[in-house]
């Protein structure tokens, strides 16, 4: 009995010992759990800070100037003023500057000069224009244009207002009348979590845990010379393009496709003529040329198409060996 108890105790001890590999895996698992827990805490603190509310600032403080579009005087006095005011509310843009003249510094022939900053109406995307935000009458005042933004690899279609002369710019002081309520404890804890997650590439690991390995990529269509001509095409359609006269025979996409066996038959016929089994008369030479073209079509199709059937692979290897 004592021996049995000792054996049981030793087995339990051996099972309880963790290997080095398992210990490292558990450490990574605990580290990942800590990252997810800190992320949840950070989101909770962010929502609490956002929901603290506002407090009135007395007296108000001016911080720079803002510039935006308004209706021109003659448009304001016309009967179409409400219509254009609705359009302006949807495409208006606001620009801030620390100076009232809205000038910026630039170089011209090595000399520093000041020029007025350009400001335009907001461009409308195709999705927004044809949504419920714009009426049919309002869409008639927009024209289509192409722009190449920095975030895109190809031109993007946009819509612009075709009568911008109806609006003028107005400058007014940027007055701050209220500020957010702040909590010192929440700000300190948020800074601690941020300082921990921003080092040692922990943000990247957290993003991988939350969203996986699939990264957002630009939808860029391949160029014509790099595009695969056989992409998204069935084997039967490829055969019909190579040999148009066999369209009726290649309607079924199976291994027993008559079009497949037609090409195999032509390939075997070519190998027989090439090996000298038949006599090389004038008629045989013409038949050999026809079979040779069909044979190379078959080789090209089989090389550019994934064929998962093992018998078809073996037959392919046999025909190539015989052709050599």
> pLDDT per residue over 138-165, tens digit each?
999 999 999 998 888 889 999 999 999 9
**281 has a pLDDT exceeding 80:** no
User: How would you list the strands of the sheet with 124-125, edge to edge?
Assistant: 124-125, 156-161, 142-147
pLDDT at 30: 96
**313 has a pLDDT exceeding 50:** no
Let me know: does 247 contact 240? Beta carbons within 8 Å.
yes
- Worst-scoring range by mean pLDDT, 58-67, 165-174, 177-186, 212-221? 212-221
pLDDT at 238: 80
Q: What is the mean pLDDT of residues 2-10?
A: 47
pLDDT at 17: 84
**32 has a pLDDT exceeding 60:** yes
Output the average pLDDT for the chain: 78
pLDDT at 236: 79
pLDDT digits (tens, 9 = 90+) for 282-302: 444 444 444 555 555 555 555
% of the chain beyond a pLDDT of 70: 66
**267 has a pLDDT exceeding 90:** no
**21 has a pLDDT exceeding 50:** yes
Q: What is the mean pLDDT of residues 76-102?
A: 95
pLDDT at 56: 94
Measured CA to CA, the distance from residue 263 to residue 145 in angstroms comes to 51
pLDDT at 184: 95
Let me know: does 270 contact 295? Beta carbons within 8 Å.
yes
What are phi and psi for residue 103, nearest 5 degrees?
Answer: -105, 150
Q: What is the mean pLDDT of residues 72-80?
A: 94
- Worst-scoring range by mean pLDDT, 21-35, 169-183, 258-272, 299-313? 299-313
Structural Rg of the chain based on CA atoms: 37
Residue 241 — very low, low, confident or very high, per pLDDT cuts 50/70/90?
confident
Residue 215 — very low, low, confident or very high, per pLDDT cuts 50/70/90?
low
Please indicate whether residue 208 or residue 240 has the higher confidence score (pLDDT): 208
pLDDT at 228: 76
- 273-306 burial string, b = 16+ CB within 10 Å, else e? bbeeeeeeeeeeeebbeebbebbebbbebbeeee
């Amino acid at each position: 009995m004592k021996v049995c108890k000792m054996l049981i105790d030793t087995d339990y001890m051996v099972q309880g010992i963790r290997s080095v590999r398992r210990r490292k895996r558990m450490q990574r698992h605990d580290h990942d759990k800590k990252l997810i827990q800190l992320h949840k805490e950070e989101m909770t603190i962010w929502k609490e800070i956002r929901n603290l509310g506002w407090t009135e600032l007395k007296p108000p403080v001016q911080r720079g100037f803002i510039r935006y579009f308004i209706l021109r005087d003659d448009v304001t006095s016309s009967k179409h003023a409400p219509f254009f005011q609705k359009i302006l509310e949807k495409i208006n843009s606001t620009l801030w500057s620390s100076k009232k003249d809205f000038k910026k510094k630039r170089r011209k022939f090595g000399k520093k000069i000041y020029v007025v900053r350009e400001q335009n109406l907001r461009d409308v995307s195709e999705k927004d224009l044809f949504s419920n935000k714009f009426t049919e009458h309002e869409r008639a005042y927009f024209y289509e244009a192409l722009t190449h933004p920095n975030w895109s690899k190809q031109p993007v279609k946009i819509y612009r207002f075709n009568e911008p002369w109806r609006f003028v710019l107005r400058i007014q002081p940027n007055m701050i009348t209220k500020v957010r309520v702040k909590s010192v404890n929440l700000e300190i804890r948020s800074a601690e979590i941020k300082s921990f997650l921003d080092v040692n590439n922990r943000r990247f690991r957290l993003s991988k845990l939350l969203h996986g390995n699939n990264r957002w990529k630009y939808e860029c269509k391949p160029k014509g010379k790099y595009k695969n001509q056989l992409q998204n095409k069935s084997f039967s359609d490829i055969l019909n393009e190579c040999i148009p006269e066999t369209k009726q025979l290649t309607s079924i996409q199976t291994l027993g496709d008559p079009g497949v066996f037609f090409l195999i038959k032509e390939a075997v016929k070519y190998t027989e003529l090439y090996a000298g089994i038949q006599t090389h008369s004038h008629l045989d030479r013409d038949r050999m040329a026809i079979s040779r073209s069909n044979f190379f079509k078959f080789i090209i199709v089989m090389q550019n198409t994934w064929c998962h059937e093992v018998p078809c692979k073996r037959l392919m290897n046999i025909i190539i060996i015989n052709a050599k």
